[in-house]
Structure 1
Amino acid sequence: MRRVHARLREALHLTREAVDRGDPAADPARELLLFCHGFCSALDAHHTGEDRTLFPAIAAARPDLAPVLRALEQDHSMFGHLLGGLQAAVASRSSPAVLAGHLEGIAAIMESHVRYEERQLLTVLEGLDLDADPGEVLGTL
């Protein structure tokens, strides 16, 4: 989980750099679209895998964590909304300032979410007997 979170942070960092560069000689919208698509797809795959496979397994093994899992699933839903806003801003060729604002919001919420998830679930994952492909459960980058 930590490795996937680190890679998501790096993908977000690269996306933010693409916005900051804004090299007029290049096609910044195309470059940003590529970074955004990669980051958005990776984050969505990570959350889908957790919601579909990991969280039900944790809920079965640790019913006491139901409130934690609900909070994390609510975050995942919010990320879907935020990523949709970012994708719409990229598609409409919004200004770098608008794009940076979207990315700042995503970064702040993602960092809070990741830290909470790791605090609550890392020790649980160490003892969880889950017969599933880690790439399907946590996503891959």
Structure 2
Amino acid sequence: MSDIPRLVAWRRQLLEAHTRLRFALATAREAARDGADLPDAPRDLLLYCHGFCVALDGHHRGEDTLLFPALAAQHPEIARVVSMLTRDHELIAALLARFDAAVRSTESPATLALHLQGIAAIMESHFRFEERELEPLLDRLELDADPGAVLGPL
């Protein structure tokens, strides 16, 4: 296999990871929105919301430990962007921790939906910034690593 497809694949891998996370968030938001009318709402919300939180956290941990250091090493000019993205990850982690606490304390589906609305707004802004700033660099990224470890489970 030539280097070109592998290098270009990092852009595709990032976009696919973001698409999966957007879908997971939409599923969790739907479960919270419809949860008040379902007999198994607490269990279902815990399942959907926990799955989303774990997936997003895994995605960010992989970026922080593997993707961002590789990009910064190959493109030192993006140090400020990497710093901003890392701060976003810390903010999102705090929001996820608060959300997880709300889920575990059996807050109402309406309250959980509000948490998810806030997470969605920050996450979407973060993803768009990340995609805009990193996509061109991902086409040239030289990183010999498992995409699941770098961007979260595929």
**TM-score bin, normalised by smaller chain:** over 0.9
The equivalent of 2:132 in structure 1 is 119
Matched, 1:27 2:40: yes
Q: Is the 8 A contact 2:36 2:109 kept in 1?
A: no
User: Alignment partner of 1:119: what SS?
Assistant: helix
User: Alignment partner of 1:22: what SS?
Assistant: helix
- TM-fit CA distance, 1:100: 1.0
Pairs within 5 Å for 1:43-54: 43-54=56-67
The equivalent of 2:153 in structure 1 is 140
Letter in 1 for 2:80: P
Q: Deviations over 1:74-126 (max 9, x none)?
A: 00001110001111111111122211110000000000000000000011011
Partners of 1:21 and 1:69 in 2: CA distance = 37
Letter in 2 for 1:57: A
The equivalent of 1:57 in structure 2 is 70
Partners of 1:39 and 1:71 in 2: CA distance = 23
In structure 2, which of residues 10, 21, 41 is the aligned counterpart of residue 8 of structure 1?
Answer: 21
The equivalent of 2:104 in structure 1 is 91
Partners of 1:117 and 1:106 in 2: CA distance = 16
Letter in 1 for 2:27: L
- TM-fit CA distance, 1:25: 4.8
Matched-pair identity in %: 56
Tell me the TM-score normalized by structure 1: 0.97
Q: Is the 8 A contact 2:35 2:45 kept in 1?
A: no
User: Alignment partner of 2:50: what SS?
Assistant: helix
Moved more, 116-125 or 22-31: 22-31
Partners of 2:36 and 2:107 in 1: CA distance = 15
Letter in 1 for 2:126: H
The equivalent of 1:78 in structure 2 is 91
- TM-fit CA distance, 1:23: 5.1
The equivalent of 1:67 in structure 2 is 80
Tell me the TM-score normalized by structure 2: 0.89
- Provide the aligned length of Structure 1 versus Structure 2: 141
